Amino acid sequence: MESSLITQVFLPLALFIIMLGMGLTLVPDDFKRVVRFPGAVALGLILKLLVIPLVTFLALRVLPMPPELAVGFILLAACPGGATTNLITHLAKGDVALSITMTAIASVITVFTIPIMVNWSLVHYMGEAQDIELPLFRTIAQILVITVIPVALGMFLRAKRPVMSQRAERPVKLVSALFLVLIILAALLKERENLAELFRQAGPLALILNVVGMTLGYGITRLLTRNAAQAVTVGVEVGVVNGTLGIAIAAGILQNSAMTIPSAIYSLIMFPSVMLLVWVGIRGHRATRAVGE
């Protein structure tokens, strides 16, 4: 994507506001909760940061596609969840505290893992033909600016101005949702001439990653912990990815519109399967309450 007002100003600003909104919901104790959920957090992070990227790489061998889309999928797989996962977990009657903990920790770790994985994918899929330079430390700094810093600012505002932060939380969420829609539309419109073909190429793998992530997260956690709420939470955290971050990095840092397509398509098609997991979580919650009564 060519350097423009959208990629250089609007995208980073939009993501900054979205991450600021997430920060307004966090407190320092959210990072300490890892002590309360060591098994679930460790399992979720392993699935999120290692297993899903590996599944993506293997899937790309079975479903080959143009190099730029392949890089876009590796980037997507490397991204953490976002504030959306906390909302979905709440709707699905999952463990919101665990969700916030996993989102916060994964967001910090992926600042360092995303540049490494994307650099590897550029070399692996584009080889000698790739002319995109992704300096490791500069990229880490850029991701810090648009993710960790606004989250930290949101947490600071919540600690120092709790009443103001509480009032601002809902408007910021609404603005974040609007920005998310506009970002996805901008990415799709940029490639509108090839959109049908891109959906055909990228749609199946985007859906597979979403469903496989949620299934692995839910199934393995349920098997090991026998805790339905934690299983739903890990399923959401592993299966739902921050597509906005993927689009922002592809468009703003990599400056390549084709690489935004996997994240944009993923952000559109994940909702039906997510709603299915929400239904599973609500049904399990009702069953648990019925047994308790």
Residue 244: the pLDDT is: 80
Mean pLDDT across 233-261: 85
Please tell me the predicted confidence (pLDDT) of residue 221: 92
Residue 71 pLDDT:
94
Residue 293: is its pLDDT beyond 50?
Answer: no
Say what the pLDDT of residue 223 is.
92
Share of the chain above pLDDT 70, in %: 82
Place of tokens 């932060």: 165
The position carrying tokens 């995303």 is 114
Instruction: State residue 279's pLDDT score.
Output: 81
Q: What is the mean pLDDT of the chain?
A: 80
- Chain-centre distance for alpha carbon 44: 13
Question: What pLDDT is attached to residue 5?
Answer: 54
What pLDDT is attached to residue 108? 85
Please determine, for residue 219, whether its predicted confidence score (pLDDT) is greater than 90: yes
Decide which of 50 and 64 is more confident: 50
The position carrying tokens 């689009």 is 247
- Rounded Cα distance between 6 and 248, Å, is 10
Percent of the chain past pLDDT 90, that is, above it, reads 22
93 vs 179, residue with greater confidence: 93
Q: pLDDT-based confidence at 287, cuts 50/70/90?
A: low
Residue 74: which pLDDT band, with cuts at 50, 70 and 90?
A: very high
Domains of the chain, first to last: 5-284 (1.20.1530.20)
Taking phi over 0 as left and psi of -120 to 50 as alpha, with beta for the rest, 82 belongs to beta
Residue 289 has pLDDT above 60, yes or no: no
pLDDT attached to residue 191: 63
Q: Which long-range contacts (CB under 8 A, 24 or more apart) does 154-163 make?
A: 154/19, 154/20, 154/21, 154/22, 154/23, 154/24, 154/25, 154/26, 155/23, 155/24, 155/26, 155/27, 155/28, 156/23, 157/23, 157/24, 158/23, 158/24, 158/25, 158/26, 158/27, 159/27, 159/28
> Residue 2 has what pLDDT?
43
Q: What mean pLDDT is predicted for residues 106-118?
A: 88
pLDDT confidence bin for 3, thresholds 50/70/90:
very low
pTM score of the predicted model: 0.80
Can you give the pLDDT at residue 188?
Answer: 67
**Residue 187 C-alpha from the chain's centroid:** 17
**77: number of Cβ within 10 Å:** 27
Most confident of 55-69, 101-115, 184-198, 263-277: 55-69
Mean pLDDT: which of 100-109, 167-176, 200-209, 245-254 is highest? 200-209
